[in-house]
Amino acid sequence: ELVPTLCEDFLKYEGATSLQRKPGAREDEVDIEAVLPNESNQPVIFEIQSHGSSTGFIDLAAGNCDIGMSSRQISRDEAKQCAAAGLGDMYSPACENVLGLDGIAVVVHRNNPVNTLTKQQLEDIFGGKTTDWSQVGGTPGPIYLYAPDENSGTSETFRSMILGNRPLSQRASRFENGAKLCDAVAADIYGIGFIESSFERGTKALAISKDGKPLLPTPFNIVTRDYPLSRRLYLYTPAEPQNKWTRKFVQYALPKLEVFSWWTSGGEAAALNALFNTYRDQYPGVSIINATVAGGSGSNARPVLQTRLAVNNPPDTWQSHSGQELLGQYVDPGYCEPITELYQSDGWDKAFPKALVDMVSKDGKAYAVLTGIHHGNVLWYNKKLLNKYGIKIGNNVTFDEFFAICDKLKQAGIPALGVGDSGIWASSQLFENTLLGVVGPQGWIDLFNGKMKWDDPKVKRAMDYFAKMQAYINPDHATLTWDQAVKELMDGKVAFNSMGDWADGEFIKANLKENEDFGWVNHPGTSGSFIIVADCFTLAKGAPHRESAVAWLKSIGGKEAQEAFNPLKGSIPARTDVDKSKFDGYHRWSMDEFTKDKLVPSCVHGGAAPEAFQKALNDAVSSFILDKNVENFASALVQEAKKGEPNTMGKLQFSSQTIELVSPEIPPNAPPGYAENARGAAKLNIIFHFRPGSTKMDDRALADLRRLVALLQNSTYQNKSLLLFGFADNYGGTRLNSIVSTQRAQAVAEQLHRQGIVPSLVKGYGKALPIASNNTAEGREQNRRVEVWLH
């Protein structure tokens, strides 16, 4: 049905005035006839014959067809035959086209009690080793096999995936027609067959598993390639088609993807191309429409996007900032679909911190995939220029130190601070960073939840600082974009630029050297605080190319894409399982800051407040730059804040960063000694987990340990005894589990000892007290742990 429908849609696209579908000369053949404008009065006829992939290649080599569709890649022998016939290199882009992804469904009678099978069980069934349903948990009875015929690409792909190309059991009944195969299975309570996922009529598809959880052949699972029997569909043509309709049809049929973003600067474009390249490697054949609109922070792109969404003409996926921008502007109006399934697959729930996922979620549903986390409050500087004037920058900069440097540079005729605010948001960011530097992270939270007023003395002091900065900025600031202002920093025309670390992408693109050409420090007063600007991509409701868009989201959330994108963009990955060795010194610094700083969302970039307040802030900043009137500035923000209830993400509470004491009950099945040791103690809600068979702490565990050390250095806890209890899963014998659990507790103790903290008790309890089921990989991971108690 896929190809006839594609042909009909193509002919409609070409302007067909008459369209008919007629039976062909044989079974599984159909003709599509159409009358087209600017053609002869004779109808254009597309003849479609469905006799299997092997037959298609034979006919293509013999010149009996113009396009060969296959559910597998062409074999070397078939490619040689086509090349010998003068069709060209069948593996070249001119001949081989990936139409999309499909799945092979394993189907049974609807009343069959079996719902899932593993790939190994399928191998045993279709290889003839397993012959009774009771052997796979079903009702006793013989297993009858149904399969496509030998010429079918589905049959060949199944043999490759399941049987290792060994022959199918001779007991199988073979069918050329998929619908008839399904009808046969639907009528046989003991039957089982495999077929294209679109031919499930009257039967029940089974969930298939390899190593993880069983998955059904749903469109989502197939497109993301999580379903174990996913495969590609191909269109093969001669390198130089003789039929004029061949290339037109193929170009129409191939999958497309429109990606809408505002990433147009040098560094941004390079990073976006890294995402495109990763996607093309994983999903070849998809034509990407790069719909970019220039303008930093999406200032120009968002109005264009809103217009398209309002008239139901969405791109397949678009860039957004997480938080209020995503939820208020796109989720609440119903412009995008939830993609929660992605975060439930491939271990994403462990790779992405929960608090980050919460920033793209509403009512328990996730609506976007995060590409990276930007650090908003960074002060960049031209190191060579500062060295020329004998200026050294330490690990932190106060406002007094910053203004003293600015005065020194001003006396030398150098604009100290570079700004490119042709779109005003860069000035708003400078104010945002300055505001955080005065009120601190708790004050920031209080401002956006209404506890602190916008005319508070601290806010006014930040406004005074912001006004003072205007005396040191570049005179051409109003004509420059943010990246042009960064270019002035690189050229030594200005000394500083207070900008998010997308600026680092420009330094990388220009091949500048860290700590030689440029340096960085937190914006004055903001050490210990991290303004999050998180980029993400959505799935449009009614996306024109939905399957391509789902695949895009799957790709950009993957480890490979995040390791390719973020080193070029200046951001740090949203995933926590990346290889840090692939990142430069700045990125590693930012990663470290992210793990230990107080995290707050950006207002300027749509994370902390609704769009209306964001716009009001930009307008107030524009006015303030002209009149320098603090009272007017504060009054404008006070009035805007009164218009609505507080609506903010507030402080970002990461589960791994918020360590609390809890007092759990001692379980009745506690092993000997555990109850005595834990009684009267309080348990910290931080648990160190370990990989299977490992007693070493990974990077994530070490980051958690650093936060634990910071907590234990608080005077409240310094007089308490520290207890470490190690545990294992149920893999291996009792003695091995006891040894491994003790060694894990000792590994944590050793790291603490290096920080001057000596635990009072280090004990392993083997596989006792599991906190999750050991029947799943996820459960076993939870049970491989070290608990921390204070007495």
Query: pLDDT (tens digit, 9 = 90+) per residue, 27-42?
Result: 888 999 988 887 777 8
Instruction: Report which residue type is found at 304.
Output: V
Mapped onto helix, strand or coil, the DSSP state of residue 209 is: strand
The predicted pLDDT at position 539 comes to: 97
Confidence of residue 663 (pLDDT cuts 50, 70, 90): low
* pLDDT in the model for residue 715: 52
Residues 318 and 292: beta-carbon distance below 8 Å: no
Query: What is the reported pLDDT for 92?
Result: 95
pTM: 0.73
| pLDDT value, residue 152 | 87
Alpha-carbon distance of 529 to 180, in angstroms, equals 65
Can you give the pLDDT at residue 651?
40
Please report the pLDDT score of residue 718 as a whole number: 59
Runs of H (alpha helix) within 646-767? 674-678, 699-712, 734-754
Mean pLDDT of all residues in 656-672: 67
Asked if residues 598 and 528 have their Cβ atoms less than 8 Å apart, the reply is yes
CA distances from 569 to 122, 268, 270, 534 (A): 45, 6, 8, 12
Q: Virtual CA dihedral for 432, 473, 478, 638, nearest 10 degrees?
A: 30
**Does residue 657 have a pLDDT over 80?**
no
Most confident of 183-187, 423-427, 639-643, 705-709: 183-187
Cβ-count burial of 718 within 10 angstroms (0-12 exposed, 13-18 middle, 19+ buried)? exposed
Mean pLDDT of 352-379: 93
Q: What is the mean pLDDT of the chain?
A: 90
| pLDDT tens column, 219-254 | 888 888 889 999 999 999 999 999 999 999 999 999
Rounded Cα distance, 123 and 406, in Å: 73
Name the strand (E) or helix (H) holding 20.
Answer: strand 18-23
Rounded Cα–Cα distance for residues 205 and 479 (Å): 62
Q: At 656, is the pLDDT very low, low, confident or very high (cuts 50, 70, 90)?
A: very low
375 in Cβ contact with 531 (< 8 Å): yes
User: Cβ contacts of residue 526 below 8 Å, gap of 6+?
Assistant: 377, 433, 436, 437
Lowest mean pLDDT, pick from 14-18, 83-87, 618-622: 14-18
Bridge partners for 789 per DSSP? 683, 723
Inter-residue contact 652 to 608 (CB < 8 Å): no
State yes or no: pLDDT of 649 exceeds 70: no
Residues 507-532 have a mean pLDDT of 96
> pLDDT tens-digit profile of 554-604?
999 999 999 999 999 999 999 989 999 999 999 999 999 998 888 899 999
Phi, then psi, of 322 in degrees rounded to 5? -70, 170
Domains of the chain (ranges; CATH) run 2-99+233-252 (3.40.190), 100-229 (3.40.190.10), 260-375+534-597 (3.40.190.10), 378-529+601-642 (3.40.190.10), 661-790 (3.30.1330.60)
Backbone angles phi, psi at 674, to 5 degrees: -65, -45
Rama region for 528: left / alpha / beta (φ>0; ψ in -120 to 50; rest): left
The pLDDT of 669-690, averaged and rounded, is 82
Question: Does the pLDDT at position 655 exceed 60?
Answer: no
Please tell me the chain's helix, strand, coil percentages from 3-state DSSP, rounded to the nearest 5: 40, 20, 40
- Which residue type, as a one-letter code, is found at position 427? S
Provide the pLDDT for residue 660.
52
If you average pLDDT over residues 735-745, what whole number do you get? 90
Residues 767-790: tens digit of each pLDDT:
999 988 888 877 888 889 999 988
Output the pLDDT for position 567.
Answer: 95
Among residues 725, 721, 703, 702, which one has the least CA distance to residue 712? 721
- Range 199-212 burial, b when 16+ CB lie within 10 A, else e: bbeebbbbbbbeee
